Chains A and B, each alone.
Chain A
Amino acid sequence: MRIKNLLYGIVASTVLFSTAVVAKTDVIWWEYSEEGSGLNDALVKYIQDGFNQSQEDVELEIIFKEGEYNEATRTALLAGVGPDIISSSGATYVAKYASGGFLMSLEEVAEKNGWKDKILPWAYNTGVFGGNLYSLPKNYESMLYFYNKTLFDENGWSLPTNLGEYEALAGMIQSKGMYPFAYGSSGWPMTHEHLAGNYLNTVAGPDNVYKAMIGEKEWTAPEFVEALELLKKHMMAGYWSGSLENYYAVGWDDFSAQFHNREAAMLQIGSWGFEIATALEGDEWGWAPLPILTKNGGEPNYQLSVGGTLSVNAASKNQDAAAEVLNWIVSNRETIVEFTKSRDFGAWLMPLYYEASDFGDDVDPRLRDYLVDFSERTGKGHYGYTTWTYYPPEAGTHIWKDMEVVWAGDISVKEFLGEQQELWEKARKNNELLPIAAR
């Protein structure tokens, strides 16, 4: 009898144990692979393992995809499959996925868990389409100046605050046989849009850019023509890597080396450039927001940008579990700070409401100053717009791909902006504009 009971006990506990194991819900998440940089391992450590250890009901697995990640995702979604959690390059993709009905609305989850109180409002709004939240911003970026402080001190140079000072500084740097800025487009021609966005936001100004984006102003207005004419003039003067030909041939490694080897005095790049600046050896470096390139200058602004998003697949069988993962991320600010700190704040800097105390004493004060300054300045309304977060697809491609045609002298700036205007009108007509919060 005892043996019989023992056997029953073993069978019953085995069944119960198996049920418990089987009951665990699997959540699959596809993510870009950045094997070489170590980001994959960090993502597994901080997010996958962090989430799995925090509870016992859901098992998260992050699968890293090589190559054209967005294409793999699109194909899977069209086939009615794909991962439970979808990562994308930005709002352009989210807009298309949402319009095709491939994403689950996160509105209810966001409301229930108070995401609006945790995520910076401008970044939150980049995921709202037709009144529904479809994506979480994964990382926020802005365009900055990095400069070789030692070099500046040695030569008595100071950071420019208006157009006159900017051009004078560039001239002084060039007279020393250096490039004013290290930069180039080889391997990533979208760098053209970084420059175009910088000039639109610092010459024409974010108010005008905003008006053009919402259709209250034409892109052919004199302010925009002036901005891109100035960019062309500076490009032809060799501000970036010495000449247009060099700029086209120089890639990430080259321009990082230019900055590190004193071949260039400054670097005009996104906040991901902290990775380059922190690797500078021997010299001190500094950073600054972009100066306003008008006669009298003005209050600098930070261009808003969301680099990467997270959404839940509408075809997922585990939507609740997938949403639980996203909520865990949004609600665990400490883990996110630890994670992004491990990446020098170049990746996974989620646009959450941070406080200075979040970063600890071991964070480089220059990085902390940037993060705090970004929050304060943008909070006061001094913000602009990056093309890759706010432009509809065709206008977003045109702004960098056809900029080369302007620089080659094949079309005028006015003609180029006329084409931009047409593409914005087409996007407006086809309801393809991305969400832009009122200023």
Chain B
Amino acid sequence: MTSWLFLAPVLFIHLLVVAVPSLSSLALCFTDWNGFGKINFVGFENFIELFDDRVFKKAVTHNLIWTGLFLTVPIALALLAAFLLTGVRRFQMFYRFVFFFPYILASIVNCLIWKYLFHPIHGLAAFFRDIGWESLATSPLTTKETSLYAVAFVDGWHFWGFLVVIYITAMYQVEESLYEAADIEGASKWQKFRYVTFPSIRPMFLFSFLIIIIWSVPAFDYVYILTSGGPAYSSEVVANFMYFEAFRNMNVGYASAVGALMFVYVFTILGFFWTLRKLGWEI
């Protein structure tokens, strides 16, 4: 009982500012509310319309590609960089800072830098044009075949430093004696990583895996600033789609249905990891 009393203030605030608004938002997904006037109950109409919406389907596909990209490229690079950095003795803090720096920059700053670099008239394209590499003289952000990957690249560029830092932190927790034993056995650098480092940092690795999957669902700021989902919805993602429906098209009920599906997806992922944990995985 005492523990509940201690928890009560926090629970109350949570209910007030998180749970109640979230639940009321979920309730809106069964309505046609436009954000101002009367609220009419429409049952599952929003969901039926959503599953037939070409832009929503495109956005979901892009979110899956986005998740796949972030689960591979930044993780692989961060693991490699972190492992190499643990062997560096001098200026280690400096290197850590260098890798972490893009992560602490505001997204608008990162985006403006890359928007300029990717500009087809003034940016890198102009440089490539000057040296005669015409095929590279295009803007990946304004070409529909590359826009999603270009936005993911910019977001990944700022994000991977975060992974480097958490992996380094985990790697420093690994028992030095394990490396000494591996040295005695004549293990190569790769073998040490494969059989000592990686198993030791697996909980942190799985944690990063989980947060990447969850954070990929509401991916919004980089898409909104760099391309607004364009050109021609080629970089559209679910959160941007939801924003447009709610605040441009004033379909708050419809946007809430998108939010509800995002909610269900995240809970499914969490349930999956919770099951793994129950099965004895260290997460």
Q: Which residues of A contact B (CB under 8 A)?
A: 68, 70-71, 74, 77-78, 92, 96-97, 99-102, 186, 189, 241, 243-246, 248-250, 254, 393-394, 397, 401, 404-405, 407-408, 410
Question: How far is A74 from B246 in the complex, measured between Cα atoms in Å?
Answer: 12
Question: How far is A97 from B233 in the complex, measured between Cα atoms in Å?
Answer: 30
A408 x B231 contact (CB < 8 A): yes
Instruction: For B141, give its contact among A70, A101, A189, A249 (CB under 8 Å).
Output: A249
Binds A, one of B19-27, B30-38, B176-184, B190-198: B30-38
Q: Contacts A245-B143, A246-B120, A246-B121; is A404 near B249 (CB within 8 Å)?
A: no
Q: Contacts A96-B250, A99-B36; is A249 near B244 (CB within 8 Å)?
A: no
Question: How far is A410 from B234 in the complex, measured between Cα atoms in Å?
Answer: 11
Instruction: For B37, give its contact among A92, A100, A189, A243 (CB under 8 Å).
Output: A100
B247 x A404 contact (CB < 8 A): no
Question: How far is A254 from B141 in the complex, measured between Cα atoms in Å?
Answer: 17
27 chain-A/chain-B pairs, Cβ below 8 angstroms: A68-B247, A70-B247, A74-B35, A74-B36, A77-B36, A78-B36, A100-B36, A100-B37, A101-B37, A102-B36, A245-B139, A246-B120, A248-B139, A248-B141, A248-B142, A249-B119, A249-B121, A249-B139, A249-B141, A254-B121, A394-B250, A394-B251, A397-B244, A401-B230, A404-B230, A404-B232, A408-B144
Question: How far is A4 from B248 in the complex, measured between Cα atoms in Å?
Answer: 68
A404 x B37 contact (CB < 8 A): no
Q: Residue B228 at the A interface, CB < 8 A?
A: yes
Question: How far is A408 from B58 in the complex, measured between Cα atoms in Å?
Answer: 15
Question: How far is A117 from B158 in the complex, measured between Cα atoms in Å?
Answer: 58
B12 to chain A, nearest CB (A): 21
A393 x B143 contact (CB < 8 A): no
Question: Residue on A with the closest CB to B233?
Answer: A405
A393 x B232 contact (CB < 8 A): no
Question: How far is A255 from B247 in the complex, measured between Cα atoms in Å?
Answer: 28
Question: How far is A38 from B34 in the complex, measured between Cα atoms in Å?
Answer: 35
Which residues in B have their C-beta under 8 angstroms from that of A254?
121
A405 x B34 contact (CB < 8 A): no
Question: Residue on B with the closest CB to A99?
Answer: B37
Q: Residue B110 at the A interface, CB < 8 A?
A: no
Which residues in A have their C-beta under 8 angstroms from that of B247?
68, 70-71
A407 x B120 contact (CB < 8 A): no
B121 x A393 contact (CB < 8 A): no
A179 to chain B, nearest CB (A): 11
Chain B residues numbered 189-241 whose CB sits less than 8 Å from any CB in chain A: 228, 230-234
A77 to chain B, nearest CB (A): 8
Question: Residue on B with the closest CB to A101?
Answer: B37
Question: How far is A99 from B39 in the complex, measured between Cα atoms in Å?
Answer: 12
Instruction: For B232, give its contact among A92, A394, A408 (CB under 8 Å).
Output: A408
Q: Residue B107 at the A interface, CB < 8 A?
A: no
B214 to chain A, nearest CB (A): 26
B142 x A245 contact (CB < 8 A): yes
Q: Contacts A394-B249, A394-B251, A408-B144; is A248 near B34 (CB within 8 Å)?
A: no
Question: Residue on B with the closest CB to A432?
Answer: B34
Which residues in A have their C-beta under 8 angstroms from that of B249?
393-394, 397
B231 x A404 contact (CB < 8 A): yes
A188 to chain B, nearest CB (A): 10
